[in-house]
Structures are given as structure tokens and as C-alpha cells.
């Protein structure tokens, strides 16, 4: 086992080295030599069929946050990381600011990992409870095919793409003007593009375009549409088809992605904006791309990879803003109960009780005073957002009970000492919503 | 609330600024001006009586770890962080490589936070399950008083201290030789020191020294011993007195600490070393020190602080080493179950089932193949350490059951589909031990 781990580490380091050389634009011979070294190591490790693995990337530096910000960040990260783990993620490094989903040496069957990526996106956005969202889906091959059948010259593909990508922010007329006026596209070509890119919908739009007399003649577009049809089948099985919109104007990351692309956007509700639902921008994106040649495939072929990144900083800002708008109090500690006393000379008893609670896994505090006033202890709970107070006095000690006070309602009830842990756990078992 | 958070942030930044100026050895006038600014801000914020707060420090850079290392690190961090949270910690930044426990403006009563720090140390070391440990306790004032009554000249306090601190590694004779031969101490003075520093024990040793005719005449030593007596009372209430050893040779961090000091050491068992129990070095340390003048006190007085740091890197190495010695397999994912099928053409059914499990919060995977062989699916579980396989075939689908297989025992049992989530949770509810 230890040997295998060391070998895996060597493969990883050699992979990094090759990637670095490529970024530095090293000579082809040098790269080839290092790749062949990598393949030898990889061969020793043996095949890794079907195994999938997420890589969590580290931030480029560390920043300081105040306790309020940290509490929000922590909850956002926790939500995302537990979703990744639910899907078999391996953590390479932490904290996470970006996620990429590699499928190592994965000779996987079409669209299965792609569908899982979309499922992950939906799970994360649902559990963050930051409002309604939609995931736009398109395919690089459909875009390329569409431009070809509309008559866009090859040399103009990229610049026309960047015009199309603006359609989520500006009306079609403006996009068309840019294409024709600035970029010199023939107006009738622009109009043909317009007919396609203003369409969006579900699997029925995919089926309709599969019958489209022009598009269905293009091999690339046909492949892309066929894959999307399969993808929608899997999305229906995953129960998320209603969250996904096939959108022919989605055209981002095309320097990188080679197949299916997707992007999640938050929808502003009418109540929030006083108007029509409106996209408030991308919070997660991903797609299919070609892995580095030879990186993970023993035969040195290009390997298909599926990548997904979550805009954690963006999500964090959204949550912060909403909390500020709501003037919501964010707890910076997770303390469940304060151990307090109304009478003097009970420090020892408070220490004994708080220690019992710690040993039972309860998050508990006490004031570091010999004889604190009850009012100060209750005030501390209000300020720190501690929901419960466990109060002991001579009478409670004699009766073998603890007075448990709910800070918000001021209700008090005597709980038998041996039932205290269970009762505190019962009352604080609901994790608070983050916004 | 938002305003208070902003004000707290300003206080924090101004505090950092003052600290920075002190480190840069700025002029006294400049520091005074900035401190007065800090105090104004602090006054706006109002008193913060009794509140305690931990500060988790960030690492100076980020490193890459492989999945195996990350899995171990994550479990170590989780253990430590959940202990901090149990004690009301606020997280300032993450990940944690060091913990300092400030008590802000805490006019706290003697030894209460000190006792809590020792409790935290014991909780962390117990839950990490890295073997038997002992926490050595001493007091700066006892050391200073002891040197004075033994007749050590003031100018030699520090160098004699550093000799004493070696007593956990070398025998007394060697330490004495260093004091007398290298450092020019009179042999009879060294012998007097030797009589003290070779002693260690519990509260009875404290009581014995409180009666010591020489030491009890020294004001500083008397104060230190009185505090230790009180500390041991609290430690008994916390149920950890047997883990704590008053050790007169503990003499570290004296440039920094001003009162109680402590250090946790792991004990090597006879079985591990084939000999006497032997300390394997410090894994956590802390003590009482004077806070920066004016930092947190509205009157600009020195404020007592309690600090505690955990040697996370050290603990991590120990856990890694032991795991390697045991040739223990470390799981790098937390997947609870693989959804599998023995027959062909069941991809859709596998997708449906895995989606049900994800939605119920179960960590689940499936192979990204349309028709994977059952043997390959089982092999994948063995390699990845996945404990359960949920197998479906035509018969299971017809009967409304799922065949649940325990990978280790190869036992299989039919579980009704509606009970599957509960059964998987029941079987995987024990968190694995980290070593």
C-alpha cells in the first residue's frame, strides 16, 4: 500500500512536471522524453479503469477574514465539499476555491460523467439555498456546425462566437449590429444565426434540431445533438431535467472545451427586482475537454475529461449581500449552551457541569468569572447567539436537575441532570440555514 | 449588526497595525498615537466582558499533498477543530496549523481559562488516539523564585534555564556538568537546583513546596505555587488531574510566557520501544503571557492572555508513520456504497438508484460504463475501500429489493428498496479511527 501511494505520488509529480514544461513551451523532444517517463511510471501502476476523481484546487494565497465572514465561508465550503464527497471525491488539497473533475484514464461511456457533473451543480445550488437557478447547456460541436451551415467563414468563428455569448445581456438587434457593422458579417448570415441562437428549451428542442434540414446535414452538429439527447435522458433519471435549458447562445470557454458545455445562472425573482426574472450571472460552469496528450492514457492518446468549477467567491459575495440586506445576525461560534448560575460560590459546580457537557460532545461555554451576574450571563448569550442556558443553583443541585432556558423565548424548564445532554442535542439538532 | 461587524473589523485592523509598528520598532510617539486611535475605536465597541475567543492562524503558504496525505490531514484537522468549536471557538481563518487562545479584555478570574486550555489539550490528544500522553506543567514565577533561592545570579537565569530544559533528554549529571563546567555556576548552587528540578508529581508536590522553608519565602514562587494549587483543583473537576504532571524542569518559552506554562508529550509504550516509557517529544504547548499594552484594555494596561498551540505537522507525521508501520490502508474517499449490476442493459436503473441515494445524502458512486462486469465493480470497491455494494438485476427490480453486499465479508442480503437508505446509514455510521 505504502509503495503504491509513493508510485501514485511520483506519477502525480511527473504529470505536474510535464504540464509545467508545456506551459513553459519547452521543446517537443524534451516534452516527449518526459511524457515517456510518465508513461513508464503509469504502466507500473497498472490500469485504473473507470475510476473517477475530483481535484480540488488551492487558492493562490491566503487572506484574512473576520469571524463573521469566516462563518459564512465555512458554511458555503462545507455545503460544496459534502456534495463532492457524496459523489466520491478525493480531496487533493484544501481549502477549495475551484473544483476540476478529471476522469483519469476513463474510457467511460458517453454522457455519464457529464450528467453527474450537472447533478452535482444542481445539488450544490439547491443546498446553498441562494435562490432559483437554471443550468444552460450547449455543445461546442453544435455551435461549430451551426456557424458552418449558416455560412460564417472559418476565420470569423471565434469573433462571432464572442458576439453570440453577449445575448444573455443585450438584445438580438444589438448583437446583430455588432456582427454586421463591426465584424463584417453578411446580414443574411447574421439572420440565419439569429434564428438558431434565440432558441432555448428542453429535450424537445434537441429533437426538433435533429430534424433541422440544414443542421442535420452537418456531421459535427449531429454528433453534438445526439449526445445532448442522451444527456437529457440521464438528466431525467437524475430528476433534474427541469433545471436544465438547452441554450444555443451559450458559447463560453471555447478555447478550452471541445464537447458539451454548461453554465449555471441564478435567477432574480420578480419580488427581489420588482420586475421580470433576470439572470444575475454565472455561479458555476464546466464542460468536456481533451486531456493532455499522454497524461493519463497508456497509449498516449488524448483523453476526454469533464471539468466543473464553482464560483465560490461569487457565491460567497451573494450570500454576504443578502445577509446584509436582511440585517441578519451571523453566528461566529457554534456554542449550543452556556453553563450559568444565579448564585455565588458555584464556580466549581459550573466547571463540573461544563466538563460533563464537553465530554459528551456538547459545544458549551461558561464565563471566566468566579461570581458572574445572571444578567451578564444572559446578555452574553444574546450577543453571541447562544440558544440555550443551563442554569444551576443550590435548589437545582439538591433536586438533581438543571434549569434549561431558551434564550429567545425565555422559557425555562427543569431537566433531570442525566437527561440534559439528550435534551440539548434534541433542541439544537437543526443546522441553521446560511441565509 | 452589520455596523458592529464593521467596527470589530476596524478594531482588528488597527490592532494589527499597532502590532506591525511594534515589530518594525516604530517611534514611541507614533505607536502611542495609533494605540490611542485603537482605544477610541474599542470604546465605541463597548466592553466585551468575559468573552473568550480563539484565533486560528493560517499557514504561510500552501503545499500540495497526495490524496492519502490529505485524508489523514483532514481527519487530524477535523478532530482539532471540532474540539475548538466545542469550547466556543471563533474561526478567523482556515486551515489551521497553529492555535492561539486569546482572552480579549478578559478580566477573568485566576486559572479558569488556563484550566480550560489544559482540558482542550487533553481532549484533542485523547480523540486523536495517538497513544498515551502526559501534560507537564510549571510556572515562570516558580522557576525564577527557585533560581533566586538557590543563589543563581540574575545574569545567569536565562542560560541556567536552558540547561534545566535539557533534563527531559539527558541525565542530571550531564546537566550539572554543563552548569558548572561551561556556565561557571558554583557546584553547591547546581546541587540545590538539582534537588528541585528532579522532582515531579501532582498537587501533593505543590503542597509540599508551599511548605518548603526556602521557596515559601520567595514572593514570586509563592504566587506561582498558589495558582498551581488552584489550577489542580479545577483540573480535578475537569477529570484530567491524572494526565497532568507538575514538573520543575519544564522551562521553555520563557522569553514569552509570564505565568503558568505547559507542554504535552507523547509517551512511548514499552511494547513499542521494548524498554521503559520514554517521552517522544512535545505535540502541544502553551501558557500565560502578558498581552500587548493597550491592545485590548481600555485603560491601556497589560492584559493577561492564555495561549495554546498544537503541533499539527508533528502530529500528522506521527499518524503517517504509524500507519506506514501498520501497512494500514488509508481511504482517500468516503464513498459508502457502489451501485452495481450483474446484468447488461441496466445503466438507466443504476442511474436512478444512485440518484435516489445522492438525494438522501448517501455517498455513492457507479462505474461510468454502460455494461461493466460485476467482477470489475467488486474489484473497484476493494481497491477504493468502499464497504458496500448495492446490486440490482431484473429479479431484484421485479421484487422491489436491492441486494446489499458487504465487501469485506462477501455476505449478501436482500433489502427492500424503501429501507435501503436507512440500512446503508446504519451500516456505515461508525466513523473510522484515524490510526
Give the chain A residue nearest B123 (alpha carbons).
A359
Q: Could you report the per-residue pLDDT of A347-386, keeping only the tens digit for each?
A: 999 999 999 999 999 999 998 889 999 999 999 999 888 9
Helix (H) or strand (E) holding B84: helix B67-86
Contact A68 B5 (CB under 8 A): yes
Contact A348 B376 (CB under 8 A): no
The three grid cell numbers given for residue B77, joined into one nine-digit string: 484537522
Which residues of B make up each annotated binding site for L-histidine? 103, 252, 256-257
Kindly indicate the confidence band of residue A22, based on its pLDDT and cuts at 50, 70 and 90. low
Nearest Cα of chain B lies from the Cα of A189 at a distance, in angstroms, of: 41
Contact A66 B376 (CB under 8 A): no
The CATH number for A157's domain is: 3.30.930.10
Pick A50's closest partner by Cβ from B108, B363, B376: B376
Closest CA to B5 of A331, A86, A230, A424: A331
- Most B CBs within 10 Å: which of A112, A243, A367, A368, as the mutation test of the B interface? A368
The per-residue pLDDT for A45 is 57
Nearest Cα of chain B lies from the Cα of A395 at a distance, in angstroms, of: 20
Which residue has better confidence, A188 or A80?
A188
Distance, in Å, from the CA atom of B159 to the CA atom of B173, rounded to the nearest integer, reads 17
Which residue has better confidence, A411 or A314?
A411
Give the chain A residue nearest B352 (alpha carbons).
A237
Give the chain A residue nearest B379 (alpha carbons).
A49
**Positive or negative, the Cα torsion across B226, B229, B231, B234?**
negative
- Provide DSSP, A309-360: EE-HHHHHHHHHHHHHHTTPPPPSS---EEEEESSSS-HHHHHHHHHHHHHT
Give the chain B residue nearest A59 (alpha carbons).
B62
Q: Could you report the per-residue pLDDT of A284-341, keeping only the tens digit for each?
A: 888 887 765 444 455 555 666 777 778 877 888 888 877 777 766 777 788 999 999 9
Lowest model confidence (mean pLDDT) among A118-127, B215-224, B262-271, B273-282? B273-282
Distance, in Å, from the CA atom of B15 to the CA atom of B38, rounded to the nearest integer, reads 7
**Positive or negative, the Cα torsion across B67, B92, A283, A254?**
negative
Q: Cβ–Cβ contacts within 10 Å for residue B242, how many?
A: 11
Answer yes or no: is A356 within a domain: yes
Angle, CA of A27, A30 and A32, to the nearest 5°: 105
The per-residue pLDDT for B99 is 44
Kindly indicate the confidence band of residue A58, based on its pLDDT and cuts at 50, 70 and 90. very low
Give the chain B residue nearest A104 (alpha carbons).
B368
**Cβ-based burial of B168 (10 A; exposed 0-12, middle 13-18, buried ≥19):** middle
The per-residue pLDDT for B369 is 86
Distance, in Å, from the CA atom of B342 to the CA atom of B377, rounded to the nearest integer, reads 9
Contact A333 B88 (CB under 8 A): yes
Do A215 and A119 reside in the same domain of the chain? yes
Nearest Cα of chain A lies from the Cα of B167 at a distance, in angstroms, of: 34
Helix (H) or strand (E) holding B124: helix B112-128
Answer yes or no: is A58 within a domain: no
Distance, in Å, from the CA atom of B417 to the CA atom of B414, rounded to the nearest integer, reads 9
Per the structure, how many domains does chain A have? Answer: 3
Nearest Cα of chain A lies from the Cα of B251 at a distance, in angstroms, of: 27
Which residue has better confidence, B52 or A101?
A101
Answer yes or no: is A53 within a domain: no
Pick A8's closest partner by Cβ from B66, B85, B368: B66
Contact A62 B58 (CB under 8 A): yes
Closest CA to B340 of B349, B332, B331, B330: B349
B282, B247 in Cβ contact below 8 A? no
Kindly indicate the confidence band of residue A51, based on its pLDDT and cuts at 50, 70 and 90. very low
Which residues of A make up each annotated binding site? 103, 252, 256-257
Distance, in Å, from the CA atom of A16 to the CA atom of A21, rounded to the nearest integer, reads 9
The per-residue pLDDT for A210 is 96
Contact B332 A109 (CB under 8 A): no
Contact B367 A50 (CB under 8 A): yes
Q: Which residues of A touch B239 (CB under 8 A)?
A: 355, 359
Nearest Cα of chain A lies from the Cα of B104 at a distance, in angstroms, of: 12
Nearest Cα of chain A lies from the Cα of B349 at a distance, in angstroms, of: 8
The CATH number for B31's domain is: 1.10.287.10
Q: At residue B291, does pLDDT exceed 90?
A: no
Beta-carbon contacts below 8 Å between A and B = 199
Q: Cβ–Cβ contacts within 10 Å for residue B405, how many?
A: 21
Sequence-distant (6+) residues with CB within 8 A of B307 are: B100, B101, B102, B286, B287, B288, B289
A167, A263 in Cβ contact below 8 A? no
Answer yes or no: is B55 within a domain: no
Q: Which residues of A touch B89 (CB under 8 A)?
A: 333
The per-residue pLDDT for A403 is 97
Nearest Cα of chain B lies from the Cα of A158 at a distance, in angstroms, of: 33
Q: At residue B387, does pLDDT exceed 80?
A: yes
Burial pattern B358-392, b for ≥16 Cβ within 10 A else e, equals beeebbbbbbbbeebeeeebbebbeebbbbbbbbb
Sequence-distant (6+) residues with CB within 8 A of B326 are: B435
Question: How many Cα neighbours within 13 Å face the side chain of B26?
Answer: 14
What residues pair up with A8 in beta bridges, in sequence order? none
The per-residue pLDDT for B3 is 52
Do A75 and A203 reside in the same domain of the chain? yes
Nearest Cα of chain B lies from the Cα of A163 at a distance, in angstroms, of: 36
Q: At residue B2, does pLDDT exceed 60?
A: no
Distance, in Å, from the CA atom of A92 to the CA atom of A77, rounded to the nearest integer, reads 15
The per-residue pLDDT for B12 is 65
Contact A88 B365 (CB under 8 A): yes
The CATH number for A341's domain is: 3.40.50.800
pLDDT mean across residues, chain B? 81
Burial pattern B299-319, b for ≥16 Cβ within 10 A else e, equals eeeebbbbbbebbbeebbebb
Do A315 and A341 reside in the same domain of the chain? no
- Provide DSSP, B396-411: HHHHTEEEEEETTT--
Q: Which residues of A touch B94 (CB under 8 A)?
A: 70, 74, 95
Pick B109's closest partner by Cβ from A89, A108, A369: A369
Give the chain B residue nearest A88 (alpha carbons).
B335
The per-residue pLDDT for A76 is 82
Which residue has better confidence, B34 or A145?
A145
Nearest Cα of chain A lies from the Cα of B103 at a distance, in angstroms, of: 10
Q: Which residues of B touch A12 (CB under 8 A)?
A: 66
Q: At residue A48, does pLDDT exceed 80?
A: no
Answer yes or no: is B58 within a domain: no
B56, A74 in Cβ contact below 8 A? no
Answer yes or no: is B145 within a domain: yes
Contact B70 A62 (CB under 8 A): no
Percentage of residues in chain B having pLDDT higher than 90 = 47
Do B11 and B82 reside in the same domain of the chain? no
Instruction: Kindly give the pairing relationship between strand B364-365 and strand B337-341.
Output: parallel
Q: B369 lies in which domain range?
A: 337-429
Distance, in Å, from the CA atom of B7 to the CA atom of B27, rounded to the nearest integer, reads 27
The per-residue pLDDT for A336 is 93
Answer yes or no: is A57 within a domain: no
Pick A119's closest partner by Cβ from B52, B358, B372: B358
The per-residue pLDDT for B310 is 81
Closest CA to B308 of B84, B91, B66: B84
Q: Which residues of B touch A233 (CB under 8 A)?
A: 348
Do B84 and B212 reside in the same domain of the chain? yes
Q: φ and ψ at A131, to 5 degrees?
A: 110, 180
Distance, in Å, from the CA atom of A396 to the CA atom of B256, rounded to the nearest integer, reads 43
Helices (H), ranges, B129-264: 140-150, 157-164, 172-177, 187-197, 203-210, 219-237
Closest CA to A286 of A20, A98, A34: A98
Do B300 and B161 reside in the same domain of the chain? yes
The per-residue pLDDT for A401 is 97
Residues for chain B: how many in total?
Answer: 435
Do A262 and A281 reside in the same domain of the chain? yes
The three grid cell numbers given for residue B27, joined into one nine-digit string: 517611534
Q: Which residues of B touch A106 (CB under 8 A)?
A: 368
Q: At residue A213, does pLDDT exceed 90?
A: yes
Helix (H) or strand (E) holding B289: strand B278-290
Do A341 and A321 reside in the same domain of the chain? no
Question: How many Cα neighbours within 13 Å face the side chain of A435?
Answer: 24
Torsion of Cα atoms, B335 then A231 then A138 then A242, to 10°? -90
Q: At residue B278, does pLDDT exceed 50?
A: no
* Backbone φ/ψ region at B87: left (φ over 0), alpha (ψ -120 to 50), beta: alpha
Percentage of residues in chain A having pLDDT higher than 70 = 75
Angle, CA of A260, A263 and A268, to the nearest 5°: 150
Pick B368's closest partner by Cβ from A1, A50, A332: A50
Kindly indicate the confidence band of residue B308, based on its pLDDT and cuts at 50, 70 and 90. confident
Contact A115 B351 (CB under 8 A): yes
Distance, in Å, from the CA atom of B117 to the CA atom of B138, rounded to the nearest integer, reads 14
Q: φ and ψ at A282, to 5 degrees?
A: -75, 135
Distance, in Å, from the CA atom of B44 to the CA atom of B271, rounded to the nearest integer, reads 60
Answer yes or no: is B185 within a domain: yes
The per-residue pLDDT for B362 is 92
Give the chain B residue nearest A322 (alpha carbons).
B2
Give the chain A residue nearest B105 (alpha carbons).
A368
Do B28 and B122 reside in the same domain of the chain? no
Q: How far is CA B27 from CA B21, B23, B37, B299, in A?
A: 8, 11, 16, 21
Closest CA to B375 of B420, B332, B337, B407: B407
Kindly indicate the confidence band of residue A2, based on its pLDDT and cuts at 50, 70 and 90. very low
CA A102 to mean position of chain CA atoms: 15
Give the chain B residue nearest A372 (alpha carbons).
B50
Contact A380 B9 (CB under 8 A): no
Pick B237's closest partner by Cβ from A65, A327, A355: A355
Sequence-distant (6+) residues with CB within 8 A of A165 are: A249, A250, A251, A252
DSSP letter (8 states) at residue A97? S
The per-residue pLDDT for A104 is 34
B143, B92 in Cβ contact below 8 A? no
Kindly indicate the confidence band of residue A11, based on its pLDDT and cuts at 50, 70 and 90. low
Contact A86 B50 (CB under 8 A): no
The C-alpha cell 428542442 sits at A205
Contact A370 B109 (CB under 8 A): yes
pLDDT mean across residues, chain A? 81
What residues pair up with A100 in beta bridges, in sequence order? A55
Give the chain A residue nearest B320 (alpha carbons).
A2
Distance, in Å, from the CA atom of A244 to the CA atom of A138, rounded to the nearest integer, reads 10
Contact A358 B123 (CB under 8 A): yes
Do B94 and B133 reside in the same domain of the chain? yes
Q: Which residues of A touch B432 (CB under 8 A)?
A: none
Q: At residue A105, does pLDDT exceed 70?
A: no
The per-residue pLDDT for B363 is 92
Q: Could you report the per-residue pLDDT of B163-205, keeping only the tens digit for each?
A: 999 998 899 999 999 999 999 999 999 999 999 999 999 999 9
Task: Tell whether omega for the bond before A299 is within 30 degrees of 0, i.e. cis.
Answer: no
CA end-to-end span of chain B: 44
Do B121 and B247 reside in the same domain of the chain? yes
Query: Hey, what long-range contacts does B426-431 have (CB within 8 A, 24 or more apart)?
Result: B427/B387, B427/B388, B428/B336, B428/B337, B428/B387, B428/B388
**Cβ-based burial of B13 (10 A; exposed 0-12, middle 13-18, buried ≥19):** middle
- ipTM exceeding the 0.85 mark: no
Closest CA to A164 of A237, A240, A254: A254
The three grid cell numbers given for residue B115, joined into one nine-digit string: 484550566
Pick B351's closest partner by Cβ from A234, A330, A363: A234
Q: Could you report the per-residue pLDDT of B12-53, keeping only the tens digit for each?
A: 667 667 666 766 667 777 777 776 676 666 655 544 433 344
Query: Hey, what long-range contacts does B12-19 have (CB within 8 A, 24 or more apart)?
Result: B12/A66, B14/B38, B14/B41, B15/B295, B15/B296, B18/B292, B18/B294, B18/B295, B19/B292, B19/B295
Kindly indicate the confidence band of residue A273, based on its pLDDT and cuts at 50, 70 and 90. very low
Nearest Cα of chain B lies from the Cα of A367 at a distance, in angstroms, of: 6
Do B6 and B145 reside in the same domain of the chain? no
Which residue has better confidence, B64 or B414?
B414
Amino acid at each position: 500500500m505504502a509503495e503504491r501511494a509513493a508510485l501514485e505520488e511520483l506519477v502525480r509529480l511527473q504529470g505536474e512536471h510535464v504540464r509545467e514544461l508545456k506551459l513553459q513551451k519547452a521543446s517537443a523532444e524534451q516534452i516527449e522524453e518526459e511524457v515517456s517517463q510518465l508513461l513508464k511510471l503509469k504502466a507500473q501502476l497498472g490500469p485504473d479503469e473507470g475510476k473517477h476523481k475530483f481535484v480540488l484546487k488551492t487558492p493562490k494565497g491566503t487572506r484574512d477574514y473576520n469571524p463573521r465572514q469566516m462563518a459564512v465561508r465555512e458554511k458555503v465550503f462545507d455545503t460544496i465539499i459534502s456534495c463532492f464527497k457524496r459523489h466520491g471525491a478525493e480531496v487533493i488539497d484544501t481549502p477549495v476555491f475551484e473544483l476540476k473533475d478529471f476522469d483519469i484514464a476513463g474510457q467511460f461511456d458517453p454522457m455519464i460523467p457529464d450528467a453527474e457533473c450537472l447533478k452535482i451543480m444542481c445539488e450544490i445550488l439547491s443546498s446553498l439555498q441562494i435562490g432559483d437557478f437554471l443550468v444552460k447547456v450547449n455543445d461546442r460541436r453544435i455551435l461549430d456546425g451551426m456557424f458552418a451551415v449558416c455560412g460564417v467563414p472559418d476565420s470569423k468563428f471565434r469573433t462571432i462566437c464572442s458576439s453570440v455569448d453577449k445575448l444573455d445581456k443585450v438584445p438580438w438587434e444589438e448583437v446583430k449590429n455588432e456582427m454586421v457593422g463591426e465584424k463584417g458579417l453578411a446580414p443574411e448570415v447574421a439572420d440565419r444565426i439569429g434564428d438558431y441562437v434565440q432558441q432555448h428549451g428542453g429535450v424537445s428542442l434537441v429533437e426538433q434540431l435533429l430534424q433541422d434540414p440544414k443542421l442535420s446535414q452537418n456531421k459535427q452538429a449531429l454528433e453534438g445533438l445526439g449526445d445532448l439527447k442522451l444527456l437529457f435522458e440521464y438528466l431525467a433519471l437524475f430528476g433534474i431535467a427541469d433545471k436544465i435549458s438547452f441554450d444555443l447562445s451559450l458559447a463560453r470557454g471555447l478555447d478550452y472545451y471541445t464537447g458539451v458545455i454548461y453554465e449555471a445562472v441564478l435567477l432574480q425573482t420578480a419580488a427581489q427586482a420588482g420586475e421580470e426574472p433576470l439572470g444575475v450571472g454565472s455561479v458555476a460552469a464546466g464542460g468536456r475537454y481533451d486531456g493532455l496528450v499522454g497524461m493519463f492514457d497508456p497509449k498516449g492518446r488524448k483523453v476526454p475529461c469533464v471539468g466543473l468549477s464553482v464560483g465560490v467567491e461569487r457565491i460567497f459575495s451573494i450570500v454576504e449581500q443578502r445577509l446584509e440586506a436582511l440585517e441578519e445576525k451571523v453566528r461566529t461560534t457554534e456554542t449550543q449552551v452556556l453553563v450559568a448560575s444565579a448564585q455565588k460560590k458555584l464556580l466549581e459546580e459550573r466547571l463540573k457541569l461544563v466538563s460533563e457537557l464537553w465530554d459528551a460532545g456538547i459545544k458549551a461555554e461558561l464565563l471566566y468569572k468566579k461570581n458572574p451576574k445572571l444578567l451578564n450571563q444572559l446578555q452574553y448569550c444574546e450577543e453571541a447567539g447562544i440558544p440555550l442556558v443551563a442554569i444551576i443553583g443550590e435548589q437545582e443541585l439538591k433536586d438533581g436537575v438543571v434549569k434549561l432556558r431558551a434564550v429567545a423565548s425565555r422559557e425555562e424548564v427543569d431537566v433531570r441532570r442525566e437527561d440534559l445532554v439528550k435534551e440539548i442535542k434534541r433542541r439544537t439538532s437543526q443546522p441553521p440555514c446560511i441565509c
